[in-house]
Structure 1
Amino acid sequence: MKKSIFLFFFFVTQASHFSIAQLVQSVAAPTATYTNPLPVQFGDPYILHTKGMYYMYGTGGGADKGFSAYSSSDLVTWKSEGQVYFHDNKNGWSDPKANWGGAYWAPEVYEMKGKYYLFYSAQWKVNPTKEAENFRIGVAVADKPTGPFIDLTNKPIFDPGYPIIDANVFTDTNGKSYLYYSRCCYKHPVKSDVADLAKEKGWFNEIEESWVYGVELKPDFSGVVGEPVLLLRPPVSLSDKQAEWESRSVTAREVNRRWTEGSVMFKKDDTYYIMYSANHFGGQFYAIGYATAKSPLGPFKKAANNPVLQRNTDKGGSVTGTGHNSITYSPDGKEMFCVYHGRTAKTGDERVVFIDRMQAKNGQITISGPTTTPQKRPSSTTTAATNNR
């Protein structure tokens, strides 16, 4: 009898060990691939990598007049961290009752001296002329990537006298930081061959444009140094090779605007790259281009292989509206990724996040996307990567 009981417990114990071993093995061995789009409904996605973790921020994503975040250790599996910025913090300067629910757009977070700084766009409550688009850029600070973020002051970082969105910050090797942003199309009609063509064809009476500027930041991110410098704008002449792809929202008669927005700056091998998005963010032609320079404030030259990321529906795919990107690196720092939003036939008007491999070499960027088929997981070791390199 005792022998039978012993054998019973022996087999139960072995079976339990086997089950636990199987469970540990399944947890420890993630799938070898991932597939776009990721299950994150963000527009304008931005990823911060710090202390071995990735944090993603973006427009929308369920946040109520503010911003939410997701976290990941591998760029593939993401966990919601909830809302991390609220407009009604003690220094809030925005107007949540303004158009687009206050227009809380395009958050980006940067680590500096143990603090985390969130740059974002919103409608400014100081609006004596009742402008429909009164966007400005603010900066909030927190002790953790997950907030809560509190505005540095009760006003935007600066007021150039026109609406601005899409803040991006780059810190150079000499320690100087720069703010890049987009002047909005709002009340900014510009003369060009495309504007003349649109009027001649009876499409639109005028074409408004958004332009990208850069300006040095104060070391504590509390304001700017000097005057903004114009870096990028849509082509004036139709003979410019960039004109065709940057004007598609006009020539397709979607809207009377040409955009240069969603800029992101990085440096590699002594070359400064600035990526940007053109065309209507709500349309199918939203696409990404880039330009290069030898200094952080230019002059910049647009690349001959633009656009480097665009819709694939004309090639049998299902992705449109690819744009407003950021960049990040694999956990081992060896692979570079383009993080952007897009739409698919399945997601409809909802913007979702894509992460595809990219390269920047010899002054040229290439992006392997948009993809919706299984891709190899980002390479991973214990080596930490950084956002600015």
Structure 2
Amino acid sequence: MKKSLLLFFVLTTLLLRHTSAQTTQSEGKAKASFSNPLPIQFGDPYILHTKDMYYMYGTGGGADKGFSAYSSKDMVNWKPEGQVYYHNNKNGWSDPKASWGGAYWAPEVYEVKGKFYLFYSAQWKVNPTKELENFRIGVAVSDKPTGPFVDLSSKPVFDPGYPVIDANVFFDTNGKAYLYFSRCCYKHPVKSEIADLAKKNGWFNEIEESWVYGVELKPDFSGVIGQPVLVLRPPVRLSDKQAEWESRSVTAREVNRRWTEGSVTFKKDNLYYIMYSANHFGGQNYAIGYATATSPLGPFRKAANNPVLQKNTDKGGSVTGTGHNSVTYSPDGKEMFCVYHARTAKTGDERVVCIDRMQVKNGIITISGPTTTPQKLPSGTPTATAGSQSKGE
């Protein structure tokens, strides 16, 4: 009897140790990698990195006529911070009763001299002609990245006379700041060979387009300096190598619009890069391209390897609608990441956040994505460093 009990305890102990070891190994593997999509339902994701913390902002995500945020130490595990901007702050200028719930879209937050500035687009309540799309760009400020953000003024940053969305601010090395934005397709029919083709084939009578502009910002963000400069637009001629991928929403007969939107600008090795998204944001063909220039307002030349991120379903993958990206870096600053929204077979129509590594070399951007398989953690995270050490690397 004693021998039986002893044998039972020995076997039980060995089994528990084996199970514990398996659990530890599984946890180690889980912590040493991440997979897309992240568990965040944002459109237009933007990441701010400040004081060893990452903060993510985006469209939707449960915010009620405003914006919410998430925080993270490693870009992979995110904590909800709740709503950080409300439309009804003391200087609120938007109309929450307008179409699309006021259209609180594409927030981006920048740290300047200890303050945090949130740029965004929304429906302007000043709308005497009752336009369906009356979007403008606003800016709000807070002492913390988690808000609460209060509008700097009771009106948009500026009024170009047409609807604008997707604000992105670039701070140049000479201290100047530039605002990039997208003029909406709304009531903006444009003559082009694709428009002629669409009409000839009976697809659409006209093709509306959105174009990206850039303009210098006043140092206090109270307005702009000079007139906006057109920096990007869809191709006019079908022979243009960019025409095929930037016209897919039209050739697929999705909608009579061609978009150039969701831009993000950065500088590397004295070259200015502007990334942008084309095609219908609600469709499968939403994709990312880029252009380069030697000055912040161009002229920009689109890259020969566009698009650099697009759906992978034609290659057996499950990701579509890849677009409206921002750019961020790993904790140690050695790796560059493209942060974007997409849809997957599992997430359906919900836009979810993905991050994939990107490289910029000799004027060429490449993105290692879209991915849904396990990836190494961003370099410089404690877990990634520990994992590398344990492997003797």
The two structures share one fold, judged by TM-score above 0.5: yes
Could you tell me the TM-score, scaled by structure 2's length?
0.90
Question: Are 1:102 and 2:70 counterparts?
Answer: no
- What is the number of residues matched between the two proteins? 361
Question: Would you say the 8 A contact 2:122–2:135 is kept in 1?
Answer: yes
Secondary structure (helix, strand or coil) at the match of 2:199 reads helix
Letter in 1 for 2:196: D
Instruction: Return the offset for 1:28.
Output: 9.8
Write the letter of the residue equivalent to 1:340: Y
Partner of 1:126: 126
Aligned-residue offset at 1:102 = 0.1
1:132-211 to 2 correspondence within 5 Å?
A: 132-211=132-211
Query: What do the CA deviations read for 1:317-359 (whole angstroms, capped 9, x no partner)?
Result: 0000000000000000000000000000111110000000001
1:27 shift after superposition: 9.3
Secondary structure in 1 aligned to 2:203?
A: coil
Q: What 5-or-longer segments of structure 2 have no aligned partner?
A: 1-22, 383-393
1:236 is aligned to 2:231: no
Cα–Cα, structure 1 residues 78 and 228, in superposed 2: closer, same or farther, change >3 Å? same
Give the TM-score normalised by structure 1: 0.91
Tell me how far 1:30 sits from its aligned partner. Answer: 6.8
**Counterpart in the other structure of 1:272:** 272
C-alpha distance in 2 between matches for 1:47 and 1:183: 23
CA shift at 1:381, angstroms? 5.8
CA distance in 2, matches of 1:127, 1:328: 37
Q: What is the root-mean-square deviation in Å for CA atoms of aligned residues? A: 1.7
**Residues 139-197 of structure 1: per-residue CA shift (max 9 Å, x gap):** 00000000000000000000000000000000000000000000000000000000000
- Match for residue 19 of structure 2? none
Q: Give 4+ residue runs of structure 1 displaced > 4 Å after superposition.
A: 23-30
1:222 Cα offset (Å): 1.2
Which residue in 2 is equivalent to 1:19? none
Q: How does 1:1-389 map to 2 (within 5 A)?
A: 31-380=31-380
Percent identity of paired positions between Structure 1 and Structure 2: 85
- What is the distance in 2 between the residues matched to 1:140 and 1:25? 46
How far does residue 221 in structure 1 lie from its aligned partner after superposition?
Answer: 1.1
Q: Relative to 1, partners in 2 of residues 1:44 and 1:242: Cα closer, same or farther, differing over 3 Å?
A: same
Is the 2:249–2:279 contact (alpha carbons within 8 Å) kept by the matching residues of 1?
yes
- The aligned amino acid for 1:152 is L
* Deviation of 1:24 (Å): 12
Which AA in structure 2 matches 1:357?
R
- Report the Cα distance in structure 1 between the residues aligned to 2:244 and 2:226, rounded to whole angstroms: 34
Query: Alignment partner of 1:154: what SS?
Result: coil
Extract unaligned runs of 5+ from structure 1: 1-22, 383-389
How far apart are the structure 2 equivalents of 1:193 and 1:29? 53
In 1: Cα distance, 2:243 partner to 2:271 partner: 24
Q: Is the 2:212–2:230 contact (alpha carbons within 8 Å) kept by the matching residues of 1?
A: yes
Cα distance change, pair 83–347 in 1 and its aligned pair in 2 (3 A): same
Q: 1:215 is paired with a residue of what secondary structure?
A: strand
Contact 2:121/2:135, CA 8 A, preserved across alignment: yes
Query: Equivalent residue for 1:387?
Result: none
Q: 2:31 is paired with a residue of what secondary structure? A: coil
Secondary structure of 1:58's aligned partner:
strand
CA distance in 2: counterparts of 1:316 and 1:330, whole angstroms: 29
Q: Structure 1 residues 73, 24: closer, same or farther in 2, change over 3 A? A: farther
1:77-102 CA distance string (max 9 Å, x none): 00000000000000000000000000
Deviation string 1:61-91 (CA, Å, 9 cap, x unpaired) is 0000000000000000000000000000000
Deviation (angstroms), 1:109:
0.1
Distance 2:53 2:216 in 1: 29
Deviation of residue 292 (structure 1)?
Answer: 0.1
